[in-house]
Amino acid sequence: MKKDRSLNVLDELIESGRSGFFPLFYPEWIKESFYQDKKMQKLEFSFAAEKVHSVYENIKRHQSLERKRTALLALKEDERREFIRCFLKVVEFRSLNNIRELH
């Protein structure tokens, strides 16, 4: 049952991202994640989803968002940037996946 709750929290964070709200990240982190990496590589959704789930497994035990952010601070900068880019890729995929075709 606890596993289901942690997946729900991750889903809630992704859904918040769909509306432009990223409570897990400081705004500077998002800017750094794209600004610092001069040669952005194209992310595959499957890689991004796997990365998001694996990093989230390490931080999900923390109850508050502030503690989750602190856990993200413990990551190497490159790891954190990659996680943020992957998280945004998952948000983008879910947003595009939910758009209905207009006919």
Among all chains, which residue has been given the structure tokens 């995929």? Answer: 93
Whose CA is closest to 34, among 99, 92, 74?
Answer: 92
CB atoms inside a 10 Å sphere around CB 84? 22
Domain ranges for the chain: 2-96
How many CA atoms within 13 Å lie on the side-chain side of 103? 2
C-alpha gyration radius of the chain: 14
Query: Would you write out the chain's pLDDT as a tens digit for each of its 103 residues?
Result: 344 555 588 999 999 999 999 999 999 999 988 876 555 567 888 999 999 999 999 999 998 999 999 999 999 999 999 999 999 999 999 888 877 654 4
pTM: 0.83
Tell me the two tokens of residue 43. Answer: 């992310």
